[in-house]
């Protein structure tokens, strides 16, 4: 591998989407190849920011770059096929992917500043994935604090503050950093500072003005270790998620004939109604069991001291079926097989009174075989089901 280091154009020129360059090394990897370039616009995965993707163009050919990483100071552009050293190529990144990353990363700085400034909470972990970004705070924050921080971050977006990057020595960086400074750092470090807001060491790409972040939206928080994990999205990705959520919300309030801001009220109302209906159904089933159980016992013929009762129902709840089967088995001579349908399955409950020989376990294994079903239980009660 060559010792010439790739010039990192993304360091200073974050808005650059492509560049002319030359392949300086091509190594075989486990899966595919790793290309080094004389200069690159591709950001390698690191510092919590995801890798750029894109393509290399040369001689009417296109080679996809699927991932970029840094190894021992070398930037490897991962491709499925090799490209000869010395080939002049146009390196071009997937701009939407990069811009999404820039929005998320800058939004992360704005939020981290807000949590540090308003809640004295430090960001101790940053993770970006395709559909959500998280930061981990070293102390628990309240819902009200989360709202305050989100509001501050969005204010700073609307103020369209300049975002600057500069290389400086560690002492200088420590002096101008607002948040917790990593004192293990040595030599020259890169500081990203937002006027009137965050300043910290960072190697990632940020838009030149905070206005380009567009929006920061925190969707959820949860307790994490001794602190809080904050789930959020910025810019286009935040907008997309809000659009989806809003569609769901609008459809729901329409179904409930309510205003947008009454959705919680509507769900609570449904829960109460559902609970009341459940109670009514339970009482009705209880009354029905009281009526039908003596009828079924009276109708059953006694043969060899056993009353064989086999009944089928289409529309009773699992709870009612179980209660009826148990009620019938209170008669010492009753041998009960109760069938009922639910969720496209034929369910069966077997019970029996204390004087009936044999066990429900034996009876259900015969029934399972006959119906191709499965289930089991105890001597006096067993349950199973088969496909309809």
**102: contact with Zn ion by CB under 5 A:** no
Scanning 89-97, 128-136, 199-207, 267-275 for contacts with Zn ion by CB under 5 A, the matching segment is 199-207
Give DSSP secondary structure letters for 55-123. EEEETTEEEEE-EEEEETTEEEEEESS---TT-EEEEEE-HHHHHHHHHHHHHHHHHHHHHHHHH---E
- We find the least distance from the C-beta atom of residue 104 to Zn ion, in angstroms, to be 10
Scanning 68-76, 89-97, 162-170, 197-205 for contacts with Zn ion by CB under 5 A, the matching segment is 197-205
- We find the least distance from the C-beta atom of residue 192 to Zn ion, in angstroms, to be 6
**204: contact with Zn ion by CB under 5 A:** yes
Taking a C-beta distance cutoff of 8 angstroms, is the pair 110, 156 a contact? yes
Burial class (CB in 10 A: 0-12, 13-18, 19+), 255: exposed
- We find the least distance from the C-beta atom of residue 126 to Zn ion, in angstroms, to be 7
Q: Which of 6, 7, 18, 1 is nearest to 52 (CA)?
A: 18
**207: contact with Zn ion by CB under 5 A:** no
Q: How many residues bind Zn ion (CB under 5 A)?
A: 2
Q: Between 135 and 381, name the residue whose CB sits nearer to Zn ion.
A: 135
- We find the least distance from the C-beta atom of residue 204 to Zn ion, in angstroms, to be 4
Map tokens 């989407």 to a residue: 17
Among 89, 202, 216, 364, binds Zn ion (CB under 5 A): 202
Read off the DSSP letter of residue 43: P
Q: Between 145 and 198, name the residue whose CB sits nearer to Zn ion.
A: 198
Scanning 57-65, 67-75, 201-209, 277-285 for contacts with Zn ion by CB under 5 A, the matching segment is 201-209
Question: Cα 336 to chain center, whole Å?
Answer: 47
- CA separation for the pair 76, 344 (Å, rounded): 55
Q: Between 204 and 227, name the residue whose CB sits nearer to Zn ion.
A: 204
Q: Which of 350, 364, 358, 254 is nearest to 305 (CA)?
A: 358
Q: Between 202 and 324, name the residue whose CB sits nearer to Zn ion.
A: 202
Position of minimal CB gap to Zn ion: 202
Taking a C-beta distance cutoff of 8 angstroms, is the pair 2, 36 a contact? yes
Contacts with Zn ion, residue ranges (CB under 5 A): 202, 204
């Amino acid at each position: 591998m060559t010792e010439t280091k790739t010039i990192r154009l993304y360091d200073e020129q974050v808005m650059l989407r492509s560049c002319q360059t030359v392949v300086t090394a091509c190594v075989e990897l486990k899966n595919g190849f790793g290309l080094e370039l004389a200069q690159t616009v591709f950001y390698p995965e690191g510092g919590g920011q995801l890798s750029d993707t894109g393509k290399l163009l040369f001689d009417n050919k296109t080679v996809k770059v699927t991932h970029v990483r840094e190894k021992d100071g070398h930037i490897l552009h991962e491709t499925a096929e090799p490209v000869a050293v010395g080939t002049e190529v146009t390196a071009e990144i997937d701009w939407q992917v990069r811009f999404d990353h820039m929005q998320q990363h800058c939004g992360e700085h704005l939020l981290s500043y807000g949590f540090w400034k308003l809640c004295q909470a430090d960001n101790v972990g940053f993770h970006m994935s395709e559909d959500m970004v998280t930061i981990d705070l070293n102390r628990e924050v309240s819902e009200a604090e989360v709202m305050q921080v989100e509001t501050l971050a969005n204010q700073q977006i609307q103020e369209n503050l300049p975002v600057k990057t500069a290389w400086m020595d560690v002492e200088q960086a420590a002096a101008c950093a607002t948040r917790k400074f990593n004192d293990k750092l040595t030599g020259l470090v890169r500081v990203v500072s937002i006027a009137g807001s965050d300043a910290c060491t960072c190697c990632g790409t940020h838009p030149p003005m905070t206005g380009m972040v567009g929006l920061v939206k925190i969707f959820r928080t949860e307790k994490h270790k001794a602190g809080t994990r904050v789930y959020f999205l910025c810019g286009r990705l935040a907008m997309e998620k809000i659009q989806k959520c809003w569609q769901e919300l609008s459809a729901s309030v329409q179904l409930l004939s309510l205003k947008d801001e009454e959705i919680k009220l509507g769900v609570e109302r449904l829960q109460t109604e559902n609970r009341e209906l459940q109670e009514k159904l339970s009482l009705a089933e209880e009354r029905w069991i009281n009526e039908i159980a003596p009828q079924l016992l009276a109708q059953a013929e006694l043969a060899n001291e056993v009353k064989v009762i086999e009944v089928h129902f289409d529309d009773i709840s699992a709870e009612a079926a179980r209660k009826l089967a148990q009620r019938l088995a209170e008669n010492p001579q009753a041998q009960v097989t109760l069938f009922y349908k639910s969720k496209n399955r034929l369910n069966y409950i077997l019970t029996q009174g204390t004087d009936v020989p044999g066990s429900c376990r034996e009876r259900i294994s015969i029934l399972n075989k006959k119906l191709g079903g499965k289930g089991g239980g105890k001597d006096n009660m067993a349950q199973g089901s088969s496909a309809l």
